[in-house]
Amino acid sequence: MLNTVYRLVAPRRFEVAFNDIDLNSDKVVVRPTHLSICHADQRYYQGTRPADVMAKKLPMALIHEAIGDVVYDATGEFKPGELVVMIPNTPVEKDDVIAENYLRSSKFRASGFDGFMQDNVALDRDRLVRLPQDIDRTVAAFTEIVSVSVHALRRFERFTHARKNVVGIWGDGNLGYITAVFFHYMHPDTKLVIFGTNEDKLSSFTFADETHLVWEIPEDLKVDHAIECVGGDASQKAIDQMIDIIQPEGTIALLGVSEYAVPINTRMVLEKGLHLYGSSRSGRADFEKTVELYQEYPEILGYLSNIVGAQVEVNSIADMTKAFEMDINKMMGKTIMIWNK
């Protein structure tokens, strides 16, 4: 089947390309309906990654946060019209120790191979998880970043000691908000403190026990564990502050993406015996757990709807550009492309 792919060929320039989808293969064909823009997409769209990386990655369809309707499955396992979330991580091998999203051989959509900005996407069947037909699609569109938070919190369970009286999350943006919502449900008895830089954004964390502007933190406030959801140039200050505030033997989860190495106060990491661990992307099990939590706590979808930002009807390349440009200038929230392609 002839298929249209919308690839970024240079910063701020999308072009149409075509590929062929083999309907006799074992893959499932999905028509994307709702796509959500991530910081990672913007780094390519704006060309802010190093020139050699840009040259290696482009041309490439962007977007790794998307849902869609099944169009065709030769085996009949998936029925046309079923709503699914598409998993961008695509492993080529299995490992008993290393999770699929950490295997160096795994591919990741919109980071080395075509993302979901296509008329149709052909995926291996284990790269789909069914969603309830009545789910709010503008929220379900960013289930991938939600699965990243769920993945990080599952690692939090594995790597932290028993004392979880106070946990701090740094970052009052999308990832911080999503991680905080799920933390609140997964650890209702832990005091949850949010650290950010914007009063309005912090005010949306209504379920947190405390929120603080990072320049107004009470002297005596300590946390047992910390989760960093900042990234970029700002992450150094955030990590520094976490190391200062955390109790000895605490864990620090690093989720923010920084293009360049971030200096860390290793002397204090040693003195306090801290455990730092990275958490990136997610795998099938995290998506399944996310959909399970959506159904166990439906009110979570209500909280997540607070970060639905602009919804852009996309019927042309000009609309795609408009969505990305609006996303750059957004105050907060996730920009959703309603994909009418």
Binding residue ranges: 38, 64-65, 144
**List 54, 58, 186, 257, residue binding ligand 5RP (CB under 6 A):** 257
The DSSP result for 265-299, as a single string, is: -HHHHHHHT-EEEE-----HHHHHHHHHHHHH-TH
Which residue has tokens 């403190």? 193
40 binds Zn ion (CB under 5 A): yes
Partner interacting with residue 121 (select from Zn ion, ligand 5RP, ligand NDP, none; CB below 5-8 Å by kind): none
CA–CA dist 139, 305 (Å, integer)? 6
Burial state string for 16-43 with b = 16 or more CB within 10 A and e = fewer than 16: eeeeebeeeeebbbbbbbbbbbbebbeb
CA–CA dist 317, 189 (Å, integer)? 48
Minimal distance, residue 69 CB to ligand NDP, in Å: 25
Minimal distance, residue 40 CB to Zn ion, in Å: 5
Binding residue ranges for Zn(2+): 38, 64-65, 144
Q: Which stretch binds Zn ion (CB under 5 A): 32-40, 123-131, 165-173, 241-249?
A: 32-40
Q: Which stretch binds ligand 5RP (CB under 6 A): 36-44, 285-293, 303-311, 328-336?
A: 36-44
Closest CA to 32 of 125, 115, 91: 115
Minimal distance, residue 269 CB to ligand 5RP, in Å: 23
109 binds ligand 5RP (CB under 6 A): no
Residue 65 CA to chain centroid, in angstroms?
7
CA–CA dist 186, 206 (Å, integer)? 16
118 binds ligand 5RP (CB under 6 A): no
Minimal distance, residue 145 CB to ligand NDP, in Å: 5
Written as six digits, the tokens of 168 are 């701090």
**List 6, 108, 170, 339, residue binding ligand 5RP (CB under 6 A):** 108
Minimal distance, residue 72 CB to ligand NDP, in Å: 30
The DSSP result for 72-97, as a single string, is: EETTSSSPTT-EEEEP-EE-SS--SS
Q: Yes or no: say if 118 and 21 are a contact pair by the CB < 8 Å rule.
A: no
Number of H helices, E strands in the chain: 11, 18
Partner interacting with residue 198 (select from ligand 5RP, Zn ion, ligand NDP, none; CB below 5-8 Å by kind): ligand NDP
Class of residue 8 by CB neighbours under 10 A (exposed 0-12, middle 13-18, buried 19+): buried
Binding site for ligand NDP (CB under 6 A): 38-40, 145, 148, 170-176, 195-198, 201, 214, 229-232, 234, 237-238, 255-257, 279-281
In three-state secondary structure terms, 312 is strand
Number of residues that bind Zn ion (CB under 5 A): 2
111 binds ligand 5RP (CB under 6 A): yes
**List 129, 145, 180, 208, residue binding ligand 5RP (CB under 6 A):** 145
Which residues sit at the interface with ligand 5RP, rule CB under 6 A?
Answer: 38, 40, 43, 64, 108, 111, 144-145, 148, 257, 280-281
